Structure 1
Amino acid sequence: MASIGKRNRLPFLREMPPGYFLDGGTHGDVLLPGKQLKQRPAVGALVDVFVYRDSEDRIVATTETPYAMVGEFAYLRVVSVNPRIGVFLDWGLEKDLLLPIREQAVPLREGAWLVVRVALDEKTDRVIASARLNRYLNLAPPPFVAGQPVKLLVTGESPLGYNAVVNHTHRGLFYFSDLTGPLATGQAMDGFIKAVRPDGKIDLTLNGGRVGYGRILPLTEKIVETLKASPSGRLALHDGSPPEEIRATFEVSKKAFKQAIGVLFKAKRIVIEASGIRLP
């Protein structure tokens, strides 16, 4: 079934005016305008497209990619204002993205820039934008560890520093004291997790932890592959195992092993038990 607001690989069905029709599963046939492809695909061939609803509520496809898809945050510009329904944002497609009045945090004018979250409207099944960011930020314990590289989008300044969306899921904070200069709202960058505090709040940094996490990452994959190769999916090693047993199996220190299984556990890739570790 085609996922609205996402990229999909849909089977080609037929060609007829005004373009090509793809198999959208339970959504029915999905129109891809003829100008989107240089040549006609073979019947059944998979076509990589972005799927959304047009102004006439039809499910249509495009080979273009928007600046952000459903579930992602982006910094977008207001290109037009309709006082009755909201404002429209440039998101990289021919059809602009609606930010409804009810989803605006403050009144907006043409030319304004703001951070939004791209979402699927539950009532209309259309792709919309929302400026009510807190509604979409995950409050569950974050699956991050110190030193982990992440994708960041600055959402604004606070009394302590700059807030940023982390990997499109959580909120983090750059402290002024950790920065060499100001950041700008809408600035997208690569950064690192400086710390995850006991209350679940995330501290961010631009230049910390790359070496440490880079050393642990290959070990995490080695542990997972070892578990997959085990008939039971288990391994009789844990954070309390003797250092000699850990080194004999993975040729690393106990400290490195504990860091690696901690990363895997927080990412929900393993389960830690009293007798060892196993796949979920």
Structure 2
Amino acid sequence: MIEIGKYNELRFTKKTEAGLILTDGEKEVLLPFVNAPVDAQIGDNLNVFTYIHSDGRIMATTETPIAQVDEFALLNVVDVTEQGAFMDMGIGKDVFVPEREQKRPMQIGQKYVVYLYTDERNDRITASSRLSDFIEQDEHDLEEGDEVRLLITEESDLGYSAIINQRFMGLLYHNEVFEDLKAGDQKTGWIKKIRDANKIDLSLQVIGFKHILDLKDSLMIELEECGGSISLGDKSSPEDIYNRLKISKKAFKKAAGSLYKERLVEISDFEIKLVPKAR
């Protein structure tokens, strides 16, 4: 069965004036010559992306779309009409966003995170910026400390909303983010806390005791490579710490505190340095 809006492996059965005819054994699909491999032979299986053309035919392309159906992605608006907006998805066919599926009115030249799905009425690839309608609300198997893939969706007063593993929604709090984020950014993150009603707090820092051990080693290496001292201490700003070490101030203080308890470093307001015997 051919899945519209996704990759399909189809057999090349014949050529026409318009291109190659591919089939799954039941339906035929046209792959225009402009997108066809020049060395394709009848009988070959080709991995192609399929979509519905404006005339209703199933078409195929070897171009790489920015996203497939059932995925969230950042796309650019290339046209707006009274009925909706059209977004560039990286192939010869733009994707339509009906007016009713726009969380806010879209504008040409702006980028928005959307979800791609097939319209049940005509099987055409369609997009929506009403992301919450497509987020999984069921119980999940995520655990605190898990490493996850994040897609930043938008900024709010609390922080940044992010889609987790293309399935769930979570939040990065402003006071725990030390870099500029924008919609569409893809990041590696970690599950910080799972609250009531499956609300998920996220972090861009590794969570857990192992992280502190790793940070201790990294901090010792940084100190040794910098001649035994770094201009960061208890009163350094979170931004200065992140810009230098790419970790939060809280994580820095935990790692530095552990090294201090082991009498490996001395810490002042704006400096941490190795004690003589640790050099």
Q: TM-score, normalised by structure 2?
A: 0.71
Please say which structure displays the higher CA radius of gyration: 2
- In 2: Cα distance, 1:211 partner to 1:19 partner: 59
Post-superposition offset of 1:149: 2.0
Secondary structure at 1:95's aligned position in 2?
coil
- In 1: Cα distance, 2:89 partner to 2:208 partner: 32
Q: Which stretch has the larger CA shift, 70-79 or 192-201?
A: 192-201
RMSD: 1.9
- In 2: Cα distance, 1:40 partner to 1:29 partner: 20
State the match for 2:176 in structure 1. 178
Identity of counterpart residues, as a percentage? Answer: 40
Secondary structure at 1:35's aligned position in 2?
helix
Distance 1:121 1:211, change over 3 A: farther
Alignment of 1:44-59 (within 5 A): 44-59=43-58
Unmatched tracts of structure 2, length 5 or more? 212-279
- In 2: Cα distance, 1:16 partner to 1:205 partner: 54
1:38 is the counterpart of 2:53: no
Q: Which stretch has the larger CA shift, 57-66 or 189-198?
A: 189-198
State the match for 1:239 in structure 2. none
- In 2: Cα distance, 1:136 partner to 1:156 partner: 16
- In 2: Cα distance, 1:138 partner to 1:73 partner: 12
- In 1: Cα distance, 2:10 partner to 2:209 partner: 41
State the match for 2:92 in structure 1. 94
Q: How many residues align?
A: 211
1:9 is the counterpart of 2:9: yes
Q: TM-score, normalised by structure 1?
A: 0.71
Secondary structure at 1:199's aligned position in 2?
helix
- In 1: Cα distance, 2:107 partner to 2:176 partner: 34
Q: Kindly indicate whether the alpha-carbon contact (under 8 Å) linking 1:74 and 1:116 is maintained by their aligned counterparts in 2.
A: yes
- In 1: Cα distance, 2:208 partner to 2:64 partner: 31
1:87-146 per-position Cα deviation (integer Å, ceiling 9, x unaligned): 111111112111111211222221122111011111111001111111100111122122
Post-superposition offset of 1:5: 0.6
In structure 1, give the amino acid aligned to 2:48: V
- In 2: Cα distance, 1:157 partner to 1:109 partner: 18
In structure 1, give the amino acid aligned to 2:22: L
State the match for 2:250 in structure 1. none
Unmatched tracts of structure 1, length 5 or more? 214-280
Post-superposition offset of 1:211: 8.7
Secondary structure at 1:192's aligned position in 2?
strand
Q: Structure 1 residue runs of 4+, over 4 Å off?
A: 210-213
Distance 1:108 1:13, change over 3 A: same
State the match for 1:23 in structure 2. 23
State the match for 1:120 in structure 2. 118
State the match for 1:141 in structure 2. 139
Post-superposition offset of 1:212: 5.4
Distance 1:210 1:91, change over 3 A: farther
Q: Kindly indicate whether the alpha-carbon contact (under 8 Å) linking 1:149 and 1:210 is maintained by their aligned counterparts in 2.
A: no
